[in-house]
Structure 1
Amino acid sequence: MPGKDVDLAVIGAGLSGCALVAALRRRDWQGTIQILEAGRGPGGRCATRRRRDDPLWRLDHGSPTLSFHAAPRGQLLELMTSLQQRGVVRVDDDPVVGLDHLGTAVEAPEHPLLQGPRWRGVPNMASVAEILLSDGAEGVDVGFGERIQSLSKVDGCWLLTGGVHAAKLILSGTLLAHPRSLAMLGWRDVPLRQAVPEGHDPVLDAALEWIAELNASIRWNLMLEFPAAEHDRLPRQIWLTPRAQSHFGVERMVIQVQQCNRIGLVIHGLDDGVPITPETQPELLKAQEQRLLSVLPELLRPWPALQRMVPDARSLGVMRWGAAQPLEQGMPTTLQWCPQANVGFCGDWIAGHGFGMAEGALQSALDLAESIDS
């Protein structure tokens, strides 16, 4: 990517980052925008896996739905109504069941992601981020596969990987502001703290102090392809009970029927606390793949047709994602925009709507757009 000057740089093309760009354009904000995304495409934890050897294959390897704790209101209602009218989302009423520690199908456990209204991306979850990005496409450049290798602030200007110079900077995640970046990225200090010394912006100081208290939440999501099979009775989501999660090291499984009745399955594996660094991650991916494959037959016991096909299932690899999870309420919205440092935050860890909620990701983007445009 050649060197360039932009008005706004957004790190991360997940749901909140793409929603922020769309919200700014709806407010007629005319600045130029550069998005830097480490993945192959938009979506973040609402991303969809595609395959070079099979153009019809689409597997939502992260969040299977957009979850809300209550019916959206105000600008959020307008946004969801627009997405639904354009056919980008539909109400998710697909079957959800539970699984206990004995491998028995039970009633789905209570979980915040299942308690309120849910929508599903059409034709897949990445479509939501894609349409939001297209809504704000004018004056926006997106660099996929762009991992942040450098971050500094010189003479009031943000300097980023690839020679990008930005007047304002937005983090749609917490990695560059959270201490876990020290191990994950091999930095000496928290990147954002390294770029802006303490005392320069009191709001940023308070935000970084708050972010440092977040828990790192890791998932190892194994993607599988099963041969064509009858699937009339298959649930969409299989949530493990708390005891079962502890026993199997798995949070849930998600089934997505493909073309020609093939079946895609994603196992959301829980982390075991082993430190992750750039050097250890490749071996950890292999170890998690083998671990999740080993418990799969027992997990599928209530669905014999799938269980019998486990030996013929094809592993499509493990996707690791990480996020900083608030213990209770999300970061106060008053800390979203730091005016002296010209840096802001958006994501599902803000606004107090619950970790993993699309509601918080989208609402935080709408709130931040207002601050930037004011």
Structure 2
Amino acid sequence: MKKVLVISNMYPSASHPSYGIFVKNQVEALKRAGIEVDIAVNDNPAVGKKNVITKYAKWAKHALSLGKKGKNDYTVTHAHYVFPSGMLSLALKKMFRIPYIVTAHGGDIERMAKKSERIRKWTASILQQAEHVIAVGPVLAEQIERDFQVPATKISILSMGVNRTIFHQADKATVRQELQVAEDVFTFLFVGNVIEQKGVEELLHAYRQVRANTDRATQLIIVGSRRDTAFIERIQPLVDEHVRFEDPVKQPQLAKWFQAADSFVLPSHLEGFGLVALEALACGTPVIASQVGGLVSLLGDGAGKLVPAKNSDALREEMLRALHTPRAAYVNEQAVNKALTLHDEVTITNHVIALYESASKGGERP
């Protein structure tokens, strides 16, 4: 294999360490496996029409320049997110005959493709002209096949995988001392962007009711970006001294938050896969999540607890159950181990490399 060009509209930086971190994780895993990788990525999460036009123009120019220079060197390009990243892979295929695969992460199909008929048509074209499509969960794969007429033989279901050298169990008391989390307080944890679609409002409502229905000391820790100022203002009345916010952190530090928690809660309205839930499991933390998207296949066999999305009452009841049930009775260790084995980063990386080889030969599934 020659080189691979990874194209992504999300990628972390020193200022924004969690922005598209899963893409960087896969890039680093590919390099560890001996693959030479170039990247054409956007690491600027700034919003607003002017910012978006400026940053995407710079990113597109860089990607097309790399493609032109390396047209004889790249085995394949790999786009993360169908639109807009896939547009650049499609352009490089048309201009320089470089084959590509594309990974759909969920939001690109669930939200972006529904923004306009033009974007939907672009999305369909990107998916149909790719040598292969990766969907991070089975629900997403079915949607791509059904709604965009992509043959099932051209779709693989692969999560981004979990790096178990970073995300692993550790001594809870030691980690809590480091993070200044009281040892005798039951700690619920949320990790992700603090936005409406992640179910943070329902989580705060549920947590208030949990506190009203128990005598145990509890707290809720929310780790993630709070760039949506309008939403932050809206949920402010639900926040009290028992809710603690933390800024995004790099993965080794994030693992410590998982290790310190008693229960991880992910009440998303939609979720292509839900990698943070897998990371929590790897750290030995029980997971409660919405019954949506890839979370259903990840947790549905008993690796975690599923509740209806947008339902703070059901979420409250499951949080109370986690609070008052001994861990040994609450967690299905066999199901957790099965999920971790299936979604191990090394296993996923080997599958991706096989797809690269396949794409260079016409896209038939290996």
TM-score by length of 2: 0.34
Higher strand share: 1
Higher helix share: 2
TM-score by length of 1: 0.34
